[in-house]
Amino acid sequence: MSRPKGAVGKNKQYLLNRLKDMYGDDFDPVMKMAAQAVKLDNLADDEPSVTNQKESIAAWGKIAEFVTPKLKATELTTDSALTVSVQRKRYDAGAISNDTDNADS
């Protein structure tokens, strides 16, 4: 029997409970990542080396994955060699569509 979409599995729940036992009941891995990203960002501001800048960008990129919807691409090909690529991404209350038609001319 499968679990409902978005439900936490046994292993994930066990790990989260262990982390909360170790770091307190209010521990949230994403918030901890954000706090570390802030520290790396401050370090990159204080010591602007290429390595520090890259680490700061990578840290914020990981955080962005939790708050930015993922883009789903769909490609359709017909017999006439027309390729249509549609990408839709929902922001706040509206939808934005990028429709691209590519024909071999």
Query: Using CA atoms, how far apart are residues 85 and 70, in angstroms rounded to an integer?
Result: 16
- Listed in sequence order, the residues at least 6 apart from 103 whose beta carbon sits closer than 8 Å to its beta carbon are 81, 82, 83
Contact 71, 85 (CB under 8 A): no
Q: Which amino acid is at 101?
A: D
Query: Using CA atoms, how far apart are residues 78 and 95, in angstroms rounded to an integer?
Result: 26
Instruction: Give residue limits of the domains in the chain.
Output: 10-67, 72-103
Q: Could you tell me which of 10, 63, 55 has the C-alpha nearest to residue 32?
A: 63
> What's the pTM?
0.52
DSSP code of residue 98 = E
Q: pLDDT tens track of the chain, all 105 residues? A: 676 766 666 788 888 888 889 888 888 888 888 999 999 999 999 988 999 999 999 999 988 888 888 777 776 667 776 666 767 666 655 444 444 444 443
